Amino acid sequence: MVDAPKDGEERNGPAAAEISNRIVQVMSEALGRGPTRARTTIARNLVVVVLQDTLLKAEKSLVADGRSGMVIDMRRTYQATLREEFVGVVEDVLDRKVLAFMSDHHIDPDVAVEVFVMTDGEEGG
């Protein structure tokens, strides 16, 4: 599920791998299929999860029929619905609070991003 970093790429260790795997698991359980690739980057107060090959077969059919906007709207709805679970995964793995969560999707190529801004360990950020 999780891509191994190539030489010269940032390595975030087991926390990043766990976040990637658990986000994929949440999506798979909720949507019936998860992304085929996931990579998490952790840098100070920022966690970014990049997901690839996320679209369902039905969504791909809609895209082929020229209804990409509808698919983007559905994806944003899915991501909003899964917000609490995504935030819970990151907070659990890092033992820190999420201050802000942003999510978006791109159709071609099929890439989604989940962005978490973390507290710095002090109350209120």
Domain segments of the chain: what residues?
Answer: 13-118
φ, ψ of residue 82 to 5 degrees: the values are -90, 0
Rounded Cα distance between 55 and 75, Å, is: 9
pTM: 0.86
Residue-level pLDDT, tens digit, the chain, 125 residues: 445 444 434 557 999 999 999 999 999 999 999 999 999 999 999 999 999 999 999 999 999 999 999 999 999 999 899 999 999 999 999 999 999 999 999 999 999 999 999 998 644 44
